[in-house]
Structure 1
Amino acid sequence: MNTKNKLKIFNDPIYGFITIPNALIFDLIEHKYFQRLRRITQMGLSYLVYPGAHHTRFHHALGCMYLMQKAVRILRFKGVTISEEEENALYIAILLHDIGHGPFSHAMEHSIVNGITHEEISLLFMEQLNVEFNGTLTLAIQIFKGEYRRKFFNQLISSQLDMDRADYLKRDSFYTGVAEGNINSERLITMLNVVDDELVVEEKGVYSVEKFLTARRLMYWQVYLHKTSLVAEQLIIRVLKRAKELTKQGFVLPASKALSYFLNNDIDKSTFTKEVLDVFSRLDDYDIISALKDWQHSDDFVLSNLCQMIVERELLKIKIKNKKHKKERLKEKIEELKDKYNVSEYEAQYFVFDGEITNQAYQRKKERINILYKNGKITDIVKASDHLNLKVLSKPVTKYYICYPKDKL
């Protein structure tokens, strides 16, 4: 009988060799829901700024699992009891934590579907996989939802110092070439411990945490909230919104079956059934890119221009300031566009708009990063650190942007 070898090894550019711990994890990775992540970029349209940023959610999920394996080994070495069942559930939960991301990630949440986040879609995927895998994901789902009695398990999946952030900062730094984000994630994990079922960082790890938070702040300003990435994402949102509007008006736009389904139907949390999930699982970046290439030749002025901007990287001009832009400036730009191209005010607002962005590297009120001293005392990182910037990093910084066309569309 020909049996498949499920003890595979991935060669990762960040960590080297990543081993698959068991056959169940292998089967989950092989599943079509997970394989789809190969076709979802980790950083959306950031490659328009950083040409190397073409890595995928698939890369990231495997990296997170690798770090979780390391975390389990370290915590067990320090005397924290983790059963084999719990260990496996941690691997499954972190592996599938991003499985609900759609094409170009956050852009999709504001256009193709409404009122449902990628985390909620991830949970729907996990519940469906749990049915297919005869209930073997039940504990992983409990941990993912934060319902398991051991709180630190969920903190390893989703907190201010989780395996998700530990991987994406280092990975995104590597692929963009932005050295400021290159954290020592493996040292951070080596400094982890557990007290009263909550995650803490040993005193020796204070400087690693400082570097982690500083790197997070810099990566947000330099990469995730880079003005070109920001305007490109806004254009994708507007493309999909316009396509949906035109479809409702009776226009037939060329699109894949999966994309057509979401253009023709209003999907929210209450209507996200198993059938919708199956269609969603067939939707990826390629559907959107293919549609952009077709729609740039559309008869609709708005849709064709928005698509052309992205395809040809002739994006809108964007200005970011610390203060809100005057509404008169926005109105002035809208009037200019109306006169120049004979479009309605509603259509002009697709090309002229404003908004705000916020960066907060550390949220003290949410869930703290606690430092464990040798005498057993536990203190929040801001108090434990002599880094003056950490207090500043825990305050949200808001900036305001305005977008409008350059000289001509």
Structure 2
Amino acid sequence: MIPFNKPYLTGKEAHYMYDAVHTGKLSGNGKYTKLCQQFFEDEYGFKKCLLTTSCTDALEMAAILANIEPGDEVIMPSYTFVSTSNAFVLRGAVIRFIDSKSDQPGLDEDAIEALINKNTKAIVPVHYAGVACDMEKIMNIASKHNLLVVEDAAQAIDSYYTFSDGSRKALGSIGHLAAFSFHETKNIISGEGGLLAVNDERFIKRSEIIWEKGTNRSAFFRGEVDKYGWVDIGSSFLPSETIAAFLWAQLENLEDIQDRRKQHWQMYYDGLKNWAEQYCVQLPNIPSFATNNAHMFYIVCKSMEQRSEIIQQLKDHDIHAVFHYLSLHKSPYYQKKHDGRDLLQSDRFSNNLLRLPLYYELTPQQISEIIKIITDVKG
């Protein structure tokens, strides 16, 4: 059997977790939490990093920091995971869903300004499959209308955006705030886990307070205040030290993991390109301003029927391939709240996109087998 995903262990995870236990501090913000946070700040230029128990928690922290209140409007793609929306709905926001581009599931940047009004508070671009949205365009729009930008970079670890002047920045370092995921399906994992990246200095002090359940506990332990107490809203967003220890083992092997995933991705692309052109199947598009972190390899079939046939053929050979999001504007929860605009590309990706197995231990022979089964499907 070839599963859709298989979590990869570098070999050091259990050792570091054991070491974390023996430090005598398991509740978080210890040795491994600090190592991980410093890694992200040094490697990717984030101004402040805080590990969280999930990307969902990081997004919820971002919504609090953005001071989202009932009636505020937030613009985001409909083709995304529910956590992107939930984080802001929990604060009372009205979500204005935007369509995907025709050649890539990320949001259509050219459709953003038409949705902006006096109630708009934030834009939440989602870097689908780790491929950058046009962040220069988005940040210019945000600056023009005095809006905050929260990057949903759940899938975008170690991926970059190139600006028109040739400069390059890591995804998650461009918006005011950003959220990452270390769920077991991501490139770098800790089972469950996430990260809030804070790039606007206005939010740094408060982010730490929200992270520590609304207390100034971190400042107290640094000797900055004489005592700590409840000074703001917050929650239990801080993960345990064992989660951070597991993550540290992954980060030490980031380059190796990324190299292997990129090899797998390229093998899929090269093996499917001619078939895809012949049978009107869309392969991933990497814009000139984006890099590929090989988080995912997907195909967009010409119809739901074609996708179903490919899924069945793979299943018959014990290979697990899966579709992805259902458009949030058509979800049972939100469809009556949506403003009625058709989001045709989002629906097309919901109906036709298929994700193929992609993980570190996948072999070239297995990828070749998957490619052969798919390319045997004619039309």
Q: TM-score, normalised by structure 2?
A: 0.30
Q: Which protein, 1 or 2, shows the higher relative CO under an 8 Å CA cutoff with sep ≥ 6?
A: 2
Q: TM-score, normalised by structure 1?
A: 0.29
- Which is greater in Rg? 1
